[in-house]
Structure 1
Amino acid sequence: MRKGIFLLGALSLAIALSIGAFKAEAADKLKPETTTIRWAKANSGNVFVTLARQLGYFDEVGLTVIENPVASSTEALTALGAGQVDVTSNQGTNNPLSQIAAGQDFTMVGGYMLQGMYLVAKKETGWNGPEDLIGKKVAAPASTTTLTGPLLKLGHDPIEEVEWLTYATNSDRLAAVVAGEADYAYLSGDMLFTVGNMDNIEIVVYAADESLMPAYGCCRMNMRTDFVKNNPNTVTLLFEALIRAQAYFESHKKEAVSILAKDINAPEEFVAAYLLNENYVPHVGQVKDEIIKTWNIMMATGFLPDTAKDINIEDHINTSLYKAALDNVIAEHHDEYPEIYDAMLAFYKEHNE
């Protein structure tokens, strides 16, 4: 009898300790300040958001992400400034920096596209380096820092020595090259399917080429600064889900193509043309050094107002929440994709420390 009582007491103590440990662990978990995040959804979507939702990663951290379709970068950033959405991610780097220079209080917290933009020209044009652009007509904004920066570095005045042609859409830029109105067009990943099926047009160089600007941080994740300050746990948890989604994507790219194609109601061939292209690199990580470089090039080429000189752009770059999320994921889920998570940590250190 005494032995039975002892065993029962020991079992009760073990259960109590387990419950206590569970409660302590639960108490240590981050609690989101707000559980709903509104995301500006571009036409090509965001594969990490789609995967995090469908794989249950958002649910695991207690978040609901609602994607609101936007037709353009201008519409997305206007909606962000007005508080109609909480995150934009497919609107480049120059566009949000221009908004910050104009007085919008945005903070860049992470990324979506690391690289993926490219130049096209008629077949047999080739590429010898950025000086090929001198004296040519380029269908791109004159604020395209991946092109103007390398020319500045070589001692050129890219604004005066290149004729920059402005068009409303990527399709219009491509059409200008086909028609002979432009020598080159600067295009995004969602045009890769179209370009890949043209007989008379070729990709001459990707913007991340060593001759231009490697790892330039193509599209940044932007939030209003007050949202970041008021919801640090929410932002950290959001990144935890997105980091895990990136790891899954890198291990299941063909599956991700099917999932994203269905999500954005597009043919799989269209999505595969960019998601399976080795030069198109989605990465949720932050690249503070590249953002600062882009800001400085925009200053040097006159695309920011004089008042921008009074702005410390580092005040609008947050690296700590992404890093906290990455540390948490590595601590809890490292065994899932150890090589990928190690590479993400090394990437963070290379571009932010």
Structure 2
Amino acid sequence: MKKTNQKWIASFALTVGLLAACGDDEQISKGAASDDYEITVGLSQSAGGTLVDIAHQEGYFEEEHISVNRVGFANSADGLNALQAGKIDVGLTFGTAGPLTFIANGSDFSIIGGHLEGGHPILTKKENAGQYTSLESYKGKKVGTIRIFTSDIVFRSALEDAGIDWKKDLEIVEFKTGSMLLEAVASGKVDVAVSANSFYAQAVDMGLEAVAWSNDLQEGHVCCRVVTRSELLADEDGEAYKRFLKALIRAERKKIEDPHSAVTAAKEYMKVDDKVINTIVNDSHSNYSSDPSREKVVQMWEQMKEIGYVENVDDIDVNEYVNIDLYEKALNELIKQYPDDAYYKDQLVRFNEQNI
């Protein structure tokens, strides 16, 4: 993160060799007027980041005097490795399980906000969709997933809660990228794919069908969190990141009041028709929320411990890695700016319920 004195530009890189490009200073766009801030945000190269894209489209970042450079990644692991290496400042669409796995392995990350809750499909070929009616249906099946996907945690936890041994009663096959996962289910190498909403457009295009959603297995679970390196928050008390969160809060409201804004914002990288885009970004299973939701983050951490996804972490207090102060400050500033607006006051009530 740095201050900049050049014209505001937001870029979205959809190139091969993203990590290398991300490390090349000449390929990083510069930002706004004097004393404005600039940060680089990593997100999904296949689906972008709905709230960030709306904030960019509506000019909220410019109004909050922050320049946001958007860089796409093929999977969460690559994005989080880039964050740890200092090649990006914020990870947006890398789930909850991903950042928590890195924290378990020693990364000093801070979760400062949210982006998505729920919304991840379990996919299969259309002709096989009728086979899957309950968790018992997955017994004896070959199930594809991606390790550190939040949907993977939700699926394994749901199986365990149902008394199904996911190590013995079915075969779980892990893939590196979402594209590889979808190709595996389309070709019959696996029976079903525990996927993510960021690959749903591709799945629809391939003729795959959702037989269940992560929300069906765990209602209201958190997914994509706004995550950064803790050290960056020491710079001017995290001012740049507070401004970033203010823009996301405003984008969340815009999406609620004008769902079509999410469609137009997504057209930058989803090369399908508006009807398909609307199905994805405004799907009823996906709840876009900028709130950090600390309680649900802690809940997922406990689930990861229970199923053995992370080990030897008893000395880690995950609460220390969830910073709720910046979001609260961002919300209070919006309340002060718009004192007659009930929306932001309602969000403060929600914040107090989910974080304190």
**TM-score, with structure 1 as normaliser:** 0.80
Alignment pair present for 1:299 and 2:301 = no
Q: Provide the rounded CA distance (Å) in 2 between the counterparts of 1:83 and 1:194.
A: 30
- The equivalent of 1:229 in structure 2 is 234
- The equivalent of 1:278 in structure 2 is 284
Q: Provide the rounded CA distance (Å) in 2 between the counterparts of 1:164 and 1:154.
A: 17
Any gaps of 5 or more consecutive residues in structure 2?
1-33
Aligned Cα RMSD in Å? 2.5
Q: Provide the rounded CA distance (Å) in 1 between the counterparts of 2:54 and 2:256.
A: 11
Alignment pair present for 1:150 and 2:158 = yes
Alignment pair present for 1:204 and 2:211 = yes
- The equivalent of 1:109 in structure 2 is 112
- The equivalent of 1:36 in structure 2 is 38
Q: Provide the rounded CA distance (Å) in 2 between the counterparts of 1:80 and 1:182.
A: 32
Residues 328, 171 of structure 1: CA spacing in aligned structure 2 closer, same or farther, 3 A cutoff?
Answer: same
Alpha-carbon deviation of 1:205? Answer: 1.1
- The equivalent of 2:220 in structure 1 is 215
Q: Is the 8 A contact 2:54 2:262 kept in 1?
A: yes
Instruction: Classify the secondary structure of the residue corresponding to 1:234.
Output: helix
Instruction: Classify the secondary structure of the residue corresponding to 1:318.
Output: coil
Q: Provide the rounded CA distance (Å) in 1 between the counterparts of 2:72 and 2:204.
A: 27
Q: Provide the rounded CA distance (Å) in 2 between the counterparts of 1:154 and 1:290.
A: 20
Alpha-carbon deviations, 1:177-213, whole Å to 9, x = none? 33333232112223333444566x431111012xx11
Alignment pair present for 1:165 and 2:165 = no
Provide the identity percentage. 25
- The equivalent of 2:130 in structure 1 is 124
> Counterpart amino acid of 1:52?
A
Alpha-carbon deviation of 1:241? Answer: 1.4
- The equivalent of 1:324 in structure 2 is 329
Alignment pair present for 1:46 and 2:54 = no
Q: Provide the rounded CA distance (Å) in 2 between the counterparts of 1:176 and 1:83.
A: 33
Match of 1:86 among 77, 86, 89: 89
Alpha-carbon deviations, 1:292-322, whole Å to 9, x = none? 122122222222232x221111110111211
Alpha-carbon deviation of 1:243? Answer: 0.5
Q: Provide the rounded CA distance (Å) in 1 between the counterparts of 2:266 and 2:339.
A: 25
Q: Which has the higher contact order (CA 8 A, sep 6+)?
A: 1
Q: Is the 8 A contact 1:112 1:220 kept in 2?
A: yes
Residues 123, 198 of structure 1: CA spacing in aligned structure 2 closer, same or farther, 3 A cutoff?
Answer: farther
- The equivalent of 2:58 in structure 1 is 55
Q: Provide the rounded CA distance (Å) in 1 between the counterparts of 2:137 and 2:147.
A: 16
Q: Is the 8 A contact 1:117 1:218 kept in 2?
A: no
Alpha-carbon deviation of 1:326? Answer: 1.6
Alignment pair present for 1:352 and 2:352 = no
Residues 196, 41 of structure 1: CA spacing in aligned structure 2 closer, same or farther, 3 A cutoff?
Answer: closer
Q: Provide the rounded CA distance (Å) in 2 between the counterparts of 1:104 and 1:41.
A: 19
- The equivalent of 1:98 in structure 2 is 101
Please say which structure displays the higher CA radius of gyration.
1
Alpha-carbon deviation of 1:249? Answer: 1.7
Alignment pair present for 1:256 and 2:262 = yes
Alpha-carbon deviations, 1:323-347, whole Å to 9, x = none? 22122223323656x4x54553343
Aligned residues: 314
Q: Is the 8 A contact 2:112 2:324 kept in 1?
A: yes
Q: Is the 8 A contact 2:91 2:226 kept in 1?
A: yes
Q: Provide the rounded CA distance (Å) in 2 between the counterparts of 1:104 and 1:198.
A: 37
Alignment pair present for 1:71 and 2:87 = no
Residues 305, 351 of structure 1: CA spacing in aligned structure 2 closer, same or farther, 3 A cutoff?
Answer: same
Spell out the pairing of 1:185-204 with structure 2 (5 A cutoff).
Answer: 185-196=193-204, 201-204=208-211
Alpha-carbon deviation of 1:117? Answer: 0.7
- Runs of 4+ with deviation above 4 angstroms: none
Residues 127, 323 of structure 1: CA spacing in aligned structure 2 closer, same or farther, 3 A cutoff?
Answer: farther
Q: Provide the rounded CA distance (Å) in 2 between the counterparts of 1:67 and 1:49.
A: 9
> Counterpart amino acid of 1:188?
A
Greater CA drift, 253-262 or 282-291: 253-262
Residues 178, 253 of structure 1: CA spacing in aligned structure 2 closer, same or farther, 3 A cutoff?
Answer: same
Instruction: Classify the secondary structure of the residue corresponding to 1:67.
Output: strand
Q: Provide the rounded CA distance (Å) in 1 between the counterparts of 2:231 and 2:129.
A: 49
Greater CA drift, 268-277 or 238-247: 268-277
Q: Provide the rounded CA distance (Å) in 2 between the counterparts of 1:172 and 1:83.
A: 27
Report the structure, 1 or 2, having the larger helix content: 1
Instruction: Classify the secondary structure of the residue corresponding to 1:303.
Output: coil
**TM-score, with structure 2 as normaliser:** 0.80
Q: Provide the rounded CA distance (Å) in 2 between the counterparts of 1:53 and 1:142.
A: 31
Residues 134, 293 of structure 1: CA spacing in aligned structure 2 closer, same or farther, 3 A cutoff?
Answer: farther
Q: Provide the rounded CA distance (Å) in 1 between the counterparts of 2:300 and 2:35.
A: 32
Alpha-carbon deviations, 1:274-297, whole Å to 9, x = none? 112111222211121221122122
- The equivalent of 2:144 in structure 1 is 139
